[in-house]
A and B are shown apart, each in its own frame.
Chain A
Amino acid sequence: MNALPTPAAATADDVLVVDGLRKDYGGATVVDGLSFSIRRGTCYALLGPNGAGKTTTLRCCLGLTEPDGGGITLVGEPVPRHARRARIRVGVVPQMDNLDPDFTVTENLVVYGRYFGLADAEVLARVPGLLEFANLAHKKDARIGELSGGMKRRLTLARALVNDPDLIFMDEPTTGLDPQARHVIWERLKQLLARRKTILLTTHFMDEAERLATQLAVIDHGRKIAEGSPRDLIRAHIEPQVIEVYGDGALAWAERDGRQLADRLEVSGETAFCYAAEPARLLQSLERTAALRYLHRPANLEDVFLKLTGREMRDEA
C-alpha cells in the first residue's frame, strides 16, 4: 500500500474536521480511525464499495450516530455535543428521497424551513430563487406525486438549501437518475461550489467523483486507503493508459501476449485490462490478432478504485 500523504493540519477555514473516527457495530469495526478535513468552497468525495463505512461516517458527522472514538468538528461546533447547533448551517441530500407526499413543491420547502427556525415569510422570499436553481419554477404548486424522479431529486437538493447552509452532505445524489438528470445535478453542484458552498459527497460513481471532487478519499473497510485530487490519485496509483480487450480469444491473447507487453494485466470476467505507460506494442499486437475488440483510453478513477479495492462484488455489510 502506498504511504498516505501527511494530512494538512486543520485550519480555521475547514468546514469539517474528522479525526480518528471509529464506529463499531456488534463486534465489527465499520469505521476504523478515519481522518480527513474539508476546506471551504471545495467538494470532498468519499469513494468506497458497499459496506465501506461511508454512510456511517456521514451520520457520525451529522451527530445522528454516536461514534465510539475520535473527534468531529462541524462548521466549528463539536459533534455530537453541539450537533443541533451545527445542523443549523448544514444541508443534507439523503440517498432516498423523503419529501412530504401530501404537500406541493413550495409547501415542502416552507415546512422544512420551519425546522430551522425560519419564519414562513423568510422562506417564501427564498422560494423563487430555490425553484429557479432547481429548475422547478413551473412546478411550484405541483404535488410530489406529479414529479419525475429527476425533479424530486432537484427538489430534495433545493430543500437542502433552504437554510442557506455552509456545508451540504450528499449521499449518492445521482443514484437512479438518467444521464440528463445526472448532468443537471452536477451542473447545479458546480454552481454551489462557485458560490463558496462546501460539499461532502459519497458516491460509487467514478465519473461523478472525477468531475466534482476537489479532493477525494478512497475508503475500504472503514479505512482511508488513498487520498488526493482525482488527477493526483490517477497519477500516483495507476498506469496512464488502459486497453480493455474483450471478445472471442481475448483471454487467450491476454495470457499469451498481453501479460508480457503490458505493465500490469487484470482479468475480470470476459475482459482483460492491460495497463501500460507505453501502449504502442500492445496496440500492434492487438491489430495483428483478428477478431479481438478493444478499447484504448486514459486511466481513470475507476481503475484506481478497482485496483485499490479489488474487483469482487461486495454485498452490503
Chain B
Amino acid sequence: MSVVPAASGRTSRWALPQISARFVPVWRRNFLVWRKLFLERLLTNVIEPLLTIVAFGYGLGSLLPEVEGVSYLQFLASGAIAMSVIYSAKFESLWGAFSRMHVQKTWDAILHTPLAVDDLLLGEIFWAASKATFTALCILVMMWVLDIAREPTSLLVLPAAFFIALVFSAMALIVNAVARSYDLLSNYFTVVVMPLVFLSGVYFPLTQLPPWLREVAHWLPMTAAVDLVRPLALGRAPAHLARDVLLLACFGLFCYYVALVLTRRRLLK
C-alpha cells in the first residue's frame, strides 16, 4: 500500500465551495431544535413586527398622508416584512450560529463527520432562510387578518423572502466567522445592520433622503430586498426585478465564499 503524500500549503482554504445535499442533516438538526422551542419562538415572531406596525403604522400613520399611492400603514407593513426577514436571518446566523459554533461546539462535532465547512454553512444559511420565511408568513397572515393588505401576489413574498434571507444569512456568517464573543455580533447589528435597514426604504421612501445618500442607498442589498417584497405585498410588480435579484444573488454568493474562507481559517487551523 503506497502512502500518497499530502498536499502542502494552504490551498484548500481558498477552494471554491462544494455544493451538495450534504447540508440537509445540518438543516434538519436546526429544525428539530426549533420544533422543540416552537411555541416560545412563535410569540416573538409575531409580537415584534406587530408592535412596529401598530406603533408606527396605526399610530404615526394616522398623522401622515399617502406614501407612494398607499396609506402609511400599508407602506410600512409591506416594508416591515423585508425588515423582519433580514433581522430574522441575521439573528439566526449571528447569535444562533455563534452559540452553536463557539459555545456548544456543535460545529466541531459535525466536522468530525464526512461533512465539510461548505456543507455546514450551507445548512445554516438554508435554515436561517427557512426561519425568516416563516416570519414573513406570520406577518402576511397578520396583514391579512388586520385587513392591511389582502393581495394574492403577496404569496410570492414567500419565495422572495427565502431568497433574500439566504443573502443576509451569508453576510452575517462572515461576522460570525471572526467573532470572539457576542459583543461583536451586537455591535455589528447595531452599527451596520440597523442603520442600513433604516436607509433601505422600510420606514420612508428613498426620495426623502438627500441626493448623495439616496445614491448610496440605491446600491444597498437591503434596498433591493425592500424593493422586491413591498410591491409584491401590495399587489404590484417590482420596479426593477432583474436588477435587484442579480444584485442580491451576486452579493450573496460573494458573502458565502468569504464566510467559507474565514470559517475554514477559524475551524481548520
Q: What are 9 A-B contacts with C-beta separation under 8 Å?
A: A11-B1, A19-B3, A64-B111, A70-B6, A73-B4, A76-B1, A80-B7, A102-B37, A116-B113
- Count of A-B contacts with CB under 8 A? 105
Query: Interface digits, B96-109 against A, CB 8 Å rule (1 contact, 0 not)?
Result: 00000000111011
Give every chain B residue within 8 A of A76 (Cβ-Cβ): 1
Contact A80 B114 (CB under 8 A): no
Is the CB of A223 closer than 8 A to any CB of chain B? no
Contact B109 A80 (CB under 8 A): no
Smallest distance from the beta carbon of B127 to chain A beta carbons, Å?
Answer: 13
Instruction: Please provide the chain A residues from 56 to 109 with a CB less than 8 Å away from any CB of chain B in the complex.
Output: 60, 62, 64-73, 76, 78-81, 84-85, 87-88, 90, 92, 94, 96, 98-103, 107
Is the CB of A117 closer than 8 A to any CB of chain B? yes
Contact B1 A17 (CB under 8 A): yes
Smallest distance from the beta carbon of A142 to chain B beta carbons, Å?
Answer: 15
Is the CB of B5 closer than 8 A to any CB of chain A? yes
Complex interface: stretch among B26-34, B58-66, B152-160: B26-34
Q: Which of A17, A25, A78, A98 lies in contact with B105, CB distance below 8 A?
A: A98
Contact A80 B6 (CB under 8 A): yes
Contact B108 A98 (CB under 8 A): yes
Q: Chain A CB within 10 Å — which of B25, B28, B114, B268 has the most?
A: B114
Instruction: Please provide the chain B residues from 1 to 35 with a CB less than 8 Å away from any CB of chain A in the complex.
Output: 1, 3-10, 12, 24-26, 28-29, 32-33
Interface size on A, residues (CB 8 A): 46
Contact B6 A84 (CB under 8 A): no
Contact A71 B4 (CB under 8 A): yes
Contact B1 A12 (CB under 8 A): yes
Is the CB of A133 closer than 8 A to any CB of chain B? no
Contact B25 A79 (CB under 8 A): no
Give every chain B residue within 8 A of A70 (Cβ-Cβ): 5-6
Given contacts A98-B104, A114-B25, A114-B29, contact A84 B114 (CB under 8 A): yes
Is the CB of B116 closer than 8 A to any CB of chain A? yes
Instruction: Please provide the chain B residues from 102 to 137 with a CB less than 8 Å away from any CB of chain A in the complex.
Output: 104-106, 108-116
Contact A71 B5 (CB under 8 A): yes
- Closest residue of chain A to B34 (Cβ to Cβ) is A102
Bound together, the chains give a CA A92 to CA B24 distance in angstroms of 21
Contact A66 B3 (CB under 8 A): no
Instruction: Please provide the chain A residues from 254 to 279 with a CB less than 8 Å away from any CB of chain B in the complex.
Output: none
Smallest distance from the beta carbon of B178 to chain A beta carbons, Å?
Answer: 19
Give every chain B residue within 8 A of A116 (Cβ-Cβ): 113-114
Is the CB of A193 closer than 8 A to any CB of chain B? no
Contact A85 B114 (CB under 8 A): yes
Give every chain B residue within 8 A of A102 (Cβ-Cβ): 32-33, 36-37
Smallest distance from the beta carbon of B5 to chain A beta carbons, Å?
Answer: 5
Smallest distance from the beta carbon of A125 to chain B beta carbons, Å?
Answer: 18
Contact A10 B268 (CB under 8 A): no
Bound together, the chains give a CA A107 to CA B110 distance in angstroms of 15
Give every chain A residue within 8 A of B267 (Cβ-Cβ): 64
Bound together, the chains give a CA A152 to CA B97 distance in angstroms of 23
Give every chain B residue within 8 A of A62 (Cβ-Cβ): 112
Is the CB of A164 closer than 8 A to any CB of chain B? no
Contact B115 A84 (CB under 8 A): yes
- Closest residue of chain A to B267 (Cβ to Cβ) is A64
